[in-house]
Amino acid sequence: MIQLEISDKHQETYNNARMLAEHMMRPYSRKYDKAEHTYPKEMEEVGKMLAGARSGSGGSKPDSDPAAVKNGGNMGAVVGMQALAWGDLGLFLAIPGSGLGNAAISAVGTPEQREKYANSYAAMCITEPGTGSDSANISTTAVRDGDEWVINGEKIYVTDGERSDTLVVWATLDKSLGKAAIKSFIVEKGTPGCEVTRLEHKMGIRASDTAAISFNDCRIPLENILGSAEIATDDAGRKKAFGGVMQTFDNTRPPVAAMAVGIARAALDMTRELLVEEGIELDFGRKPSNVSAIEAELYKMESEFEGARLLALKAAWMADNGQPNSKEASMCKAKAGRMGNYVTLRCVELCQSLGYSEQRLLEKFARDSKIVDIFEGTQQIQQLIVARQVLGKSSSELK
């Protein structure tokens, strides 16, 4: 039997996060959108509350039946992310605590690494001046020197790059060997040779710091590599090695899709409130032929929203239940990113002057939504990944 509703436990997670978003995030949305790069001190209390909720949940408990269906941490992250992004995506990304780098450490780190960096605030360093969506083209290098790695290179568009205390850096051990030589490394902020060089000015998520970071002969301990330092020589081994690095995205793309779902929900809710004031209220019991053009557009957006929401839940459910979800993670990211852009911009149009002005947050939702279609892999890259999975093609066969 297909179950399309979330569990009671996760519904409670959503309700609590939504309340927090409404009363502790939304009131500061405009303030920190205008004061870009200003540290949102009010979010410290939000971070403490979220940390307390995570520790209070006790994590996923072992099930006596190994075959039992599980709704665990991945599902919880997607549900909670949707609610918090409804409040304010930029402020959510600015909350002190867990960053995208934490997901990488959790996904492929050793037990010792996961324990050591359990309370860290880790950012992810992938994008470079000459490398965007093509992660296999990384130029930052990591060279072994005795019992240390020496890292050199530059990373840009690092979310939480300034405020984090730890970095997960993608680097190559040997550029000539292609993607098989790409590994990720844990670099603690304050390490000599690691420097934040600038903060980017952005269209959206302005409350979140986005940094450029340089690495000049930055030395880190040998054990700070995530995964094995071995470089596979055969095609199967190379694919598996890079797949291990890319596994991080299978964990993070569903929550990123949930960000788009949350922003779209915020825009739809605000739009429907404004239209009710004009006498336009949705009635899902009416036939499509008996509704106005505006109502028909709202029905369409609601259906697009629901499709993206369910795809994100499916990808998270698969991760919780140990099922390979690379295709589904990319599908939900592609669908949600596109949906979020379409819905927020259309809501601005439907609400006309109120949608475009700063009297309401609709124009901010539209600006914030664009980044969700870009970071963690662009729309085009997601479609390419899905096509490869469906057609059974390798990256070299389908570019």
Query: What confidence score (pLDDT) does residue 62 get?
Result: 45
Place of tokens 């605030």: 121
Residue 117 contacts residue 109 (beta carbons within 8 Å): yes
Q: Which of 84, 96, 89 is nearest to 33 (CA)?
A: 89
Query: What confidence score (pLDDT) does residue 356 get?
Result: 95
Average pLDDT over residues 159-181: 91
Q: How confident is the model at residue 313 (pLDDT cuts 50, 70, 90)?
A: very high
CA atoms within 13 A on the CB side of 34: 6
352 within a domain of the structure (yes/no): yes
140 burial level (CB within 10 Å; 0-12, 13-18, 19+) = buried
173 within a domain of the structure (yes/no): no
Radius of gyration of the chain measured on its C-alpha atoms:
21
Residue 143 contacts residue 169 (beta carbons within 8 Å): no
Query: What confidence score (pLDDT) does residue 238 get?
Result: 58
- Rounded-to-integer distance, Cα 362 and Cα 28, Å: 15
230 within a domain of the structure (yes/no): no
- Rounded-to-integer distance, Cα 304 and Cα 177, Å: 42
pLDDT in tens, 103-113: 889 878 999 99
* Length, in residues, of the chain: 399
Query: What confidence score (pLDDT) does residue 59 get?
Result: 46
217 within a domain of the structure (yes/no): no
Q: How confident is the model at residue 18 (pLDDT cuts 50, 70, 90)?
A: very high
280 within a domain of the structure (yes/no): yes
CA atoms within 13 A on the CB side of 392: 0
340 within a domain of the structure (yes/no): yes
pLDDT in tens, 187-216: 999 999 999 999 999 999 999 999 999 999
- Rounded-to-integer distance, Cα 230 and Cα 195, Å: 28
Query: What confidence score (pLDDT) does residue 289 get?
Result: 77
Residue bearing the bigger pLDDT, 268 or 68? 268
DSSP secondary structure letter of residue 128: B
Place of tokens 């939900």: 332
pLDDT in tens, 21-56: 999 999 999 999 999 989 999 999 998 888 777 665
Lowest mean pLDDT among 49-53, 58-62, 249-253: 58-62
231 burial level (CB within 10 Å; 0-12, 13-18, 19+) = middle
Query: What confidence score (pLDDT) does residue 249 get?
Result: 79
Mean pLDDT of the chain: 89
Query: What confidence score (pLDDT) does residue 362 get?
Result: 97
pLDDT in tens, 278-308: 888 888 777 777 888 898 999 999 999 999 9
- Rounded-to-integer distance, Cα 149 and Cα 310, Å: 43
**What's the CATH code of the domain at 251?**
1.20.140.10
Q: What's the total number of domains in the chain?
A: 1
Residue 7 phi, psi dihedral angles, 5° rounding: -70, 160
Q: Which amino acid is at 16?
A: N
CA atoms within 13 A on the CB side of 328: 18
Give the residue numbers annotated as catalytic, written as ranges: 376
* Domain of 372, in residue numbers: 236-391
DSSP secondary structure letter of residue 131: B
96 within a domain of the structure (yes/no): no
Classify the C-alpha dihedral 124-130-132-138 as positive or negative.
negative
Average pLDDT over residues 361-379: 94
- Rounded-to-integer distance, Cα 30 and Cα 313, Å: 30
- Rounded-to-integer distance, Cα 203 and Cα 312, Å: 25
Is the predicted pLDDT of residue 398 greater than 70, yes or no?
yes
Is the predicted pLDDT of residue 355 greater than 60, yes or no?
yes
- Rounded-to-integer distance, Cα 384 and Cα 378, Å: 10
Q: Strands, DSSP E only, in 62-205?
A: 122-125, 141-145, 148-159, 166-172, 182-188, 194-199
- Rounded-to-integer distance, Cα 155 and Cα 152, Å: 10
- For the entire predicted model, the pTM comes to 0.89
Is the predicted pLDDT of residue 337 greater than 70, yes or no?
yes
339 within a domain of the structure (yes/no): yes
Q: What angle do CA 209, 357, 379 make, to 5 degrees?
A: 50
Residue 340 CA, chain-centre distance (Å), reads 14
Query: What confidence score (pLDDT) does residue 246 get?
Result: 64
Percent of the chain topping pLDDT 70: 90
Burial 357-377 (b: 16+ CB within 10 A, else e): eeebbbbbbbbbbbbbbebbb
